[in-house]
Amino acid sequence: METYIDTVTELVAERTHIKNQNLVHLYALLVLVKGTKITLKDVHDAWAMDMNFSPLTEWCDGHGHRDIIPFEELDKETQDKDKKYADILRLIADELSRR
């Protein structure tokens, strides 16, 4: 039986193409609790939370990533990287609210 959590999680994974299940779950939680009011800061904070607990690998800086800082301290270019995801998550929230 598929739950509403499964539905949101699947939509986030499909639309964002993110393979990291932990980040998908955090973004799905944003959809559920913030809905269409998701901000770039929210997306960054979710990403930073995931990255903070990710191990250092050859492809991931993990806990030591230079962008694990408050959103307001990021340069504009880095802040804008979250726009794509915020837009997708808000769209999912809007679609779910219409069901």
DSSP 8-state secondary structure symbol assigned to residue 69 = S
Pick the more confident residue, 53 or 11: 11
* Alpha carbon distance 99, 88 (integer Å): 17
Buried-exposed string 65-85: b where 16+ CB fall within 10 A, e elsewhere:
eebbeebeebeeeebeebeeb
Domain boundaries, the chain: 4-97
Which pLDDT tens digit goes with each residue over 52-70? 888 776 666 667 788 999 9
Which pLDDT tens digit goes with each residue over 71-80? 999 999 999 9
| Nearest residue to 42 via CA among 19, 71, 78, 77 | 71
